[in-house]
Structure 1
């Protein structure tokens, strides 16, 4: 199947989506007339696709070098970016080089920041290999790595020149990562595009087994949702902040689990927390909380803060959420994206944020925690 170019209003780069499109990927890469390609992948994706794709680019398009980083959030750091930058420069690259991010959101951010820093900015192409990357992270101009105090604290903005998404690459994806992607899909439906909800509710699968047609619909709808709120806010500082729904607690869960909880699974539980907070503040009804729980469970994610996360650390990380500073909040409050109903986001002025007492948020987190979570909880891959 050939790539389909998906038109997105006010998005400065092309997004092409298809299935079994390796030859089309090579043709698109050739169109950029790069002096060389730096293919960035983690150790898993390098084995599945990286070595082969790099060899084909090197043979058919331009000199190509594979840069490999370790798997997971703990390695999404400045030290990883620095090590890859030194490798790239040792290969003798120049300003006409293109960084190709081959992988999920972690690789996309590492490669994106690398592209932004090399020669103060070289071109970036995304070839996403996870559901989450295809429908979410590759559309963001935000390229960031983690700090000891939280996720995505160190970074900048750098736009890709193109996204080339092939759903065939999702066939090797573990169920855990597919479920993670569905967490973001549910977010898009609840917060931005409630017209998705009926079909999505009937399409979600706890076993994470989706056909290519369903995946393409899910990706297209999610791209439309994200484009809607970022068309006039590509830096996601105003209307685009709605994309942070579920992320206040979600990021904290992910960080506190040291990567054992996938991003989208953390966000899924974070949305349940946000819905309950909204209910307790008198903004939402009980049926909104129930809808969140039903959708999250249907996607195969347990609707509670998992035992993989140190609950004490989760509550500590919440206070360092990256939306701090957008609102002039009182002490012991944090800004959150909250809903009144599907597609109805609460605002403070023009911003889709509401100040929430940390004591209330911590109380809801405690009550949404699975048995066994606590300090020094054992971490296992979900």
Structure 2
């Protein structure tokens, strides 16, 4: 790519052919270094670490050999080597200047539109403060990247490794708008070494990734190892917030039937109304009413789904104490959607006479 100097490294070399490199046996005989320092020791890092270690065991079963390694002085080498904060403003200016008809010409103009989400505004404003393209701080950060890359590749060579492995993110991924902590992605970004993340399972309905990293220009070998792992496992799930199009259109609202049990008939207490699911926004909507009970006797109506370790847990308080009718929109997580689609969600009516649950009304999405 004549517009990307980083691709000059391929001059005189064969271009990697990733499809041709795919090999279900690529992990057989591969030597993988477990970067122990990137697993973390904090309690909130335990769940992701367990899944990644389980995935490493699976790679061993597929023929890989593993060894626990460390990279000398890694923390000192990587600190201050990030450049995205220095480059964003200037790269956007270059991009817009080469984009005919662009509605804005800079990061500053993007901010002036008032159309930036609050979760991004502080960081974007900070990056817009850069006053010169090649500041001393930027050049110092660039100078740290080569020693960092050399240290990582020296470790790969010293232990005769084909790749390093570690959690992509050490903590459970955050929802949009919340800060993400525990990311290990800067190692690949700041060294420029080929890296790939593969799914290794779910925690509380959100995916956990395992990162593999190799030497310069060993991208095709890395893709082959990741492919071999994915073909032998079944961790990827279609995101529930991006349903498949139906004849090139977004899917229609789904009616969620309220299925009553025998307890309603015996007690005289009943719950009626309507419920529907918007599969695009992943929101579950209720318009419900209780009958056969006084307002003062109502403690609430909760939406429940199974806990992974057994029993039930509450997804949302749909109706508050002292109410006999409610309209409520519940934002569903991926775990909620899995439970709903499996017929494992219900409304539980709590009353003073039955504070642990007077009746259950099961939710049945009709397709």
Shorter-chain TM-score range: under 0.3
Greater gyration radius: 2
Question: How high is the TM-score relative to the length of structure 2?
Answer: 0.20
Query: Higher helix proportion, which one?
Result: 1
Question: How high is the TM-score relative to the length of structure 1?
Answer: 0.19
